[in-house]
Amino acid sequence: MERILDVKNLEIDFKTYAGTVHAIRDVDFHLNKGETLAIVGESGSGKSVTVRTLMGLLASNAKIVGGSVDFEGKDIVQMSEKELTHLRGNDIAMIFQDPMTSLDPTMTIGKQVAEPLRLHTKISEKAALAEAVRVLELVGITNAKARLKDYPHQFSGGQRQRIVIAIAIINNPKILIADEPTTALDVTIQAQILELLKEVQEKIDTSIIFITHDLGVVAGIADRVAVMYAGKIIEYGQVDEIFYNAQHPYTWGLLEAMPTLETKSDRLYAIPGTPPNLINPPAGDAFAARNEFALAIDLQQEPPFFQVSPTHAAATWLLDPQAPKVTLPPEIQRRHQIWEEKFANKGVNA
Amino acid sequence: MSEPEVLLSIRNLVQTFNPGKRNEVKAIQDISFDIYKGETLGLVGESGSGKTTTGRSLIRLYQPTSGEIMYAGNDIAKLKHGSKAMLDFRRKVQMIFQDPYASLDPRMKVQDIIAEGIDVHHLAKSEQDREQQVQALLEEVGLNASHATRYPHEFSGGQRQRIGIARALAVQPEFIIADEPISALDVSIQAQVVNLLKDIQDRQGLTYLFIAHDLSMVKYISDRIAVMHYGRLVELASADEVYNHPLHPYTQSLLSAIPVPDPSLERHRKPIAYSAAEAEDDGKQRDLVEVYPGHFVFASEDEVAGYQNAAKESHGTQSVSQEQ
Ligand SMILES: Nc1ncnc2c1ncn2[C@@H]1O[C@H](COP(=O)(O)OP(=O)(O)OP(=O)(O)O)[C@@H](O)[C@H]1O
Ligand SMILES: Nc1ncnc2c1ncn2[C@@H]1O[C@H](COP(=O)(O)OP(=O)(O)OP(=O)(O)O)[C@@H](O)[C@H]1O
Ligand SMILES: [Mg+2]
Ligand SMILES: [Mg+2]
C-alpha cells in the first residue's frame, strides 16, 4: 500500500494567557493513497489542529515543537509560505468545520469556485468559469450556469456546503481534508454529501482525511480510523477492527455513548469526568483518571502502542501480556462477538 | 396523569422574510402546536425547513408575519420593550444558539460571557458568589476552571458550544430552546450534555424545545417530536410513535437516512427517497390531522383514511417490527 502522507512525532503548543497548552503530543499516523481515514475523538483532543498543520494553517499563537509531515518526499513542517501556498492550491485541499465562514459573503459563487484555478493555473477567466460550472454540477448544484452570479446567502446550508466542496476539489487535490463537513447538515443532505465525496474520490482518485463525531458516518465512509484523546492518537485500525474489536477503553467509551434508536434506558452512558488540562498534562496515561479499567501503572507510565494486527494497534496497558483480564462492557462484548463470528481468523484484507 | 399544562401555544404562525420582494422566503408556512410544561419537544427536519426560525420567533427575535404565540397565557407580541414583564420573559426563556462561532463575543473572556446574564438580572450576591457560580457552570458542562480566563477563539468547536450552554443555564431559565446544541460535540460529551439537560429538567422542571438533526439523540431526549419540512409540520407524535410508526413519507425518508455505527449494516443500508411533489405540493389543502391517538400527520381530507389504516396496521405488527 502506497503512503501519500506520513506524520511523525508531531508536537504542537499554544501560548495562552493561562499558560502553554500542549495541544498535540507526539502524534504519528499515515495516509494511504486512495483511502479514507477517519479521525474521531474527544472534542478538544486536537483533530482540527492536526489537520490544519498538514496545510500549514496554524493560529499565530501556535508553535510546532517537533515532528515532521512527509508529503511526496518533502516535509510540510519545513516549507516556506510560498511552498505552502502552492501546496494548498494544488495538492491538499480542506473543507472546514464551519461552512458559513469559509465562503466570502461579498463575492459571487462563480468567482469563488473559479478562484483556485485562476490563482494556481494560467487558465483564462472564461475557461475557469466553465470549469466552475462543471464542478458545481458535479457536486449537485442544479442550473449552475445560471447561478454563477448568485451570492452565498442565496443558497441553503446544504448547498453552501456543496459549494465549499466544489472549491476544494476544482484543482483535483491529491489529499482532501474534511473537518466535520456534515455536522451542520440534516441526515438527508449529509447522505448526499457523503455519496458525493465517494464519487469524487473515485473520479479524481484522491485520498481523504475525514473528521467527524458521528460514528455512523465513520462506519459508512472510512477505510481506516484513528482515535484521538488529549492530543494523542490512542488507537488506530481498519474500520471493522475499530468498530468490532476495539481495545482501548476510551474507544469503548465512545462506542458505548452512542445511543441507537433502540436505546431505552433513562440515562445515556457518558465517559465519567472531564478531559485533562493540557497545560499540565497528567503523568502516565492521560485517560487514566476517567478509566474504570485503569491499572496502577497507568498513573505512572505512558502506555506504548501494542500491535493487535498488522493494521491495528492501541496504546493501553490492558494489552500488556501481564495485564489482568477485564470484563468488557456489554456493548463492547456484543461487538467483539460480531468480530469473532464474522472477521476473526478470516483475515481482514489489509 | 393529570391534564398536562400548556406552557407555550403557537397558533397559525407564519414567518415570511422579505415579503413581496423578489427574494421572498416563506420560512414558516402556518404552523400550530403546543409545548407542555416540563416536557421536551424535539423539532427535527431538513436543513432550511424553518427550525431555527421557529425557535427565534418564540423568543421574539422576529416579529411574526402573522399568527400568535402565547407564553404562560400571555401574548408575547404584547410585551413592551424595557418593561418588567419583558425583562422577566428574557430571563425565563433562553436560547442555546446553533452556531457556536458566531454567538460568542470574541472580545470577552469566558467568565464574563457566562456571567453576562447573572449581571443583567442581578443573580449574584457578591463578586465571590459570581465567580463560584461561573466555576460551577463550567464544571457542569464539562470544562474546567482554568478555562474561565480564556477567550472564545482559544477553544475547539465543541468547547465553544458548551460555553453557550453554560451561559443559558446561568440565569436559571424556565424554558430553553436548544438549537442543535450537541451536533458539534463528540458522542461522549453529547451524552454528558443530554444527561445534564435531563437532570436539570428533573430538578427544576424545565421545559425544552430541542432542535436537532441527530435523530437518535432526539428520540432519546424528547417526549414528543415534531417533524418539519419546508416550513410546515408534517408529523407530530410521541417519540416512540414517530420512530416506530412513522406515517408521513418525509419522516420515513428521514429515518431511513440515519447512519448506524455498524460498518456491516452501513454497507447495506438503503435510504428511502422522498418526493414533496406528491405529499405536499400538489395543490391540495392539508392540515395536521390526528389519525391515531396523539399522532398527527399533515394530510388532505382524502388522505386521512389511508393514514389511519397505516397507523392501525403499523401498530398491529408492532412486535414483529421491533424485533427486526
Ligand atoms: N489558538 C488556540 N489557542 C489556544 N489553544 C488552542 C487554540 N486552538 C486550539 N486550541 C486548543 O487545542 C486543543 C485542540 O483543539 P482542536 O480544535 O484541534 O480540537 P478538536 O479535536 O478539533 O475538537 P472539536 O471536536 O471540538 O472540533 C484544544 O484544547 C483547544 O482548546
Ligand atoms: N434572516 C433571513 N432572511 C432571509 N431568509 C432567511 C433568514 N433566515 C432564514 N431564512 C431562510 O428561511 C428558511 C428557513 O431557515 P432556518 O434557518 O429556519 O432553517 P433550519 O431548519 O434551521 O435549517 P438548518 O437545519 O440548516 O439550521 C431558509 O430557506 C433560510 O434561507
Ligand atoms: Mg475541530
Ligand atoms: Mg437551523
pLDDT over 50 (residue B320):
no
pLDDT given at position A111 = 94
Q: Which atom of ligand 1 is nearest to the CA of A97?
A: 27
Measured from the CB, is residue A133 less than 6 Å from ligand 1? no
pLDDT per residue over A82-102, tens digit each? 999 999 988 999 998 666 678
Q: Return the C-alpha cell found at A244.
A: 468490532
Residue A348 near chain B (CB below 8 Å): no
Does B106 contact A at CB distance below 8 Å? no
Distance from CA of A164 to the nearest CA of B (A): 16
Check whether A160 has a pLDDT greater than 90. Answer: no
- Whole-number pLDDT of residue B249: 95
CA–CA gap between residue A202 and residue A205 (Å, rounded): 5
Give the mean pLDDT of B107-124.
94
Nearest Cα residue to atom 16 of ligand 2 = B50
pLDDT of amino acid B319: 44
Distance A157 CA to ligand 1 centre (A): 24
| CATH numbers and ranges of domains, chain B | 6-245 (3.40.50.300), 246-324 (no CATH)
**Confidence at B324, pLDDT banded by 50, 70, 90:** very low
Q: For the residues of B230-283, what is the DSSP string, one character each?
A: TTEEEEEEEHHHHHHS--SHHHHHHHHT---S-HHHHTT--PPP--HHHHTSSS
Does residue A311 carry a pLDDT above 90?
yes
Model ipTM value: 0.83
Condensed to tens digits (0 to 9), the pLDDT of residues B266-284 reads 988 888 888 887 778 888 8
Averaged confidence pLDDT in chain B: 88
- For CATH 3.40.50.300, list the domain ranges present in chain A: 1-91+175-350
Taking the CA of residue B299 and the nearest CA in chain A, the distance in Å comes to 22
Structure confidence at residue B322 as a pLDDT band (50, 70, 90): very low
The 10s digit of each residue's pLDDT in A10-52 is: 999 999 988 999 999 999 999 999 999 999 998 889 999 999 9
| Least confident piece of the model among A208-217, A275-284, B187-196 | B187-196
Q: Mean pLDDT over all residues of chain A?
A: 90
Domain A1-91+175-350: assigned CATH number:
3.40.50.300
Chain B contacts in chain A segment 205-224 (CB below 8 A): 213-220
- State residue A261's pLDDT score: 62
Share of chain A above pLDDT 70, in %: 95
From the CA of B50, how far away is ligand 2's center (Å)?
6
A273: alpha, beta or left, given left = phi > 0 and alpha = psi -120 to 50?
left
Given this model, what pLDDT does residue A98 score?
A: 67
| CA neighbor of A208 nearest in space, from A197, A218, A216 | A197
Residue nearest to atom 25 of ligand 2 (CA): B47
Task: Using the structure block, give the residue that is written with the C-alpha cell 393514514.
Answer: B307
Q: How many CB atoms lie within 10 A of CB B129?
A: 12
Q: Does residue B213 register a pLDDT over 80?
A: no
Contact A180 B260 (CB under 8 A): no
Strands A175-179, A312-314: pairing is unpaired
**Which residues in chain B are closer than 8 Å to A261, comparing Cβ atoms?**
215-216, 219, 243, 258
**Has residue B156 got a pLDDT over 50?**
yes
The answer on pLDDT for B2 being more than 70 is no
So what's the pLDDT on residue B323? Answer: 38
Residue type, B210: F
| pTM (two decimals) | 0.84
How far is it, in rounded angstroms, from Cα A252 to Cα A257? Answer: 9
Ligand 1 proximity of A45 Cβ (cutoff 6 Å) = yes
Radius of gyration of chain A (CA): 21
pLDDT(B109) > 90: yes
Q: What is the pLDDT of residues A209-252, one digit of tens each?
A: 999 988 999 999 999 999 999 999 999 999 999 999 999 999 99
- State which H helix or E strand residue B15 sits in: strand B6-17
State mean pLDDT over B77-93: 90
For ligand 2, the distance from its centroid to the CA atom of residue B99, given in whole angstroms, is 13
